[in-house]
């Protein structure tokens, strides 16, 4: 089984108290995310080798991720935030162990570049869990678990570009991933919204896996769709989506063109695996994928993704 990560998160980092807001500075151990991104976000480094800080409270988290300086932020325990809180450029947000959780609110990656969000549980968000917007670029969202939120789990909008969404698990949720927020935003979104979605696990979720406007090419590959209740992928409004090497199980509508009042985009499907699922609807052409990548055989994707997606799987 091919794995898209190589590093390890090591326990027992030495820390020293920094503020009364439960923020600590790591003096030993890795100060970077595990592995490296592939797909459109290749080259994203986040906070890089900046010494890591560990946060356990909302105030410490918000202060660290809204700093103008590069930062590697290790999130420990459950942190409740309200509303959408900004994440500024050159940040790595990485959960400690398998239980690091953000609940109540979400992360707004707004006009930012070079951001990594990894190994976090998102629960009960009141708007979006992660919103990437306003021309944000080089964003890697990896090995997180999303459940029981209000609106989008991972929405990407308004000319954002060069994003990879990989090895995440989505469960107990309806509107999973929106790419492009409006049919009327073409002047901003054309030639942007290029995203790679790979090795994600959609576990009984409803729709938008993803729902795409304008992005071309968008690469949806080696994901596992298990019991999706509404539809898998929708290509609309000038989009071009390559749906490749995915495993669809108990999913009546794996992919189609057009959705709601949005006209059909282009969708090319190849080398997918279907178990008790529909055959999907495709048509049109999609721009060439501009990067090299390794494609798992579609029939092996279920076991690979179930074994590797979500939190606690980056070590």
Residues acting as catalytic residues = 208
**How would you list the strands of the sheet with 84-86, edge to edge?**
84-86, 106-110, 130-133, 154-156, 178-179, 211-213, 233-236, 255-257
Long-range contacts of 61-64 (CB under 8 A, 24+ apart): 61/85, 63/21, 63/23, 64/23
Where is 117: in which H helix or E strand? strand 113-118
Exposed, middle or buried, 289 (CB in 10 Å: 0-12/13-18/19+)? middle
- Residue 224 token pair: 């596992």
Are 74 and 53 a contacting pair, CB within 8 Å? Answer: yes
Are 84 and 104 a contacting pair, CB within 8 Å? Answer: no
- Name residues whose C-beta falls within 8 Å of residue 292's C-beta, 6 or more positions apart in sequence: none
Where is 79: in which H helix or E strand? strand 78-80
């Amino acid at each position: 089984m091919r794995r898209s990560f190589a590093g390890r998160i090591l326990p027992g980092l030495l820390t020293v108290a920094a503020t009364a807001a439960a923020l600590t500075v790591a003096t030993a151990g890795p100060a970077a995310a595990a592995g490296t991104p592939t797909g459109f976000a290749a080259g994203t480094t986040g906070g890089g080798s900046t010494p890591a800080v560990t946060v356990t409270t909302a105030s410490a988290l918000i202060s660290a991720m809204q700093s103008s300086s590069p930062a590697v932020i290790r999130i420990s325990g459950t942190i409740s935030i309200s509303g959408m809180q900004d994440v500024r450029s050159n940040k790595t947000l990485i959960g400690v162990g398998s239980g690091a959780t953000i609940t109540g609110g979400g992360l707004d990656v707004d006009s930012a570049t070079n951001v990594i969000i990894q190994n976090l549980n998102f629960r009960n968000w009141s708007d979006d869990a992660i919103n990437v917007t306003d021309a944000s670029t080089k964003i890697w969202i990896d090995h997180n678990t999303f459940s029981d939120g209000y609106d989008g789990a991972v929405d990407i909008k308004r000319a954002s570009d060069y994003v990879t969404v990989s090895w995440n698990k989505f469960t107990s949720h309806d509107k999973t991933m929106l790419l492009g927020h409006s049919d009327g935003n073409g002047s901003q979104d054309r030639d942007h919204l290029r995203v790679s979605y790979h090795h994600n696990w959609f576990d009984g979720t409803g729709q938008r896996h993803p729902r795409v406007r304008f992005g071309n090419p968008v690469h949806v590959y080696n994901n596992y769709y298990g019991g999706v209740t509404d539809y898998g992928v929708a290509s609309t409004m000038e989009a071009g989506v390559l749906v490749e090497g995915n495993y669809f199980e108990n999913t009546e509508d794996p992919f189609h063109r057009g959705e709601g009042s949005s006209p059909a985009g282009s969708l090319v499907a190849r080398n997918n695996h279907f178990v008790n699922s529909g055959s999907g609807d495709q048509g049109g052409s999609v721009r060439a994928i501009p990067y090299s990548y390794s494609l798992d055989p579609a029939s092996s994707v279920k076991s690979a993704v179930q074994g590797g997606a979500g939190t606690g799987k980056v070590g």
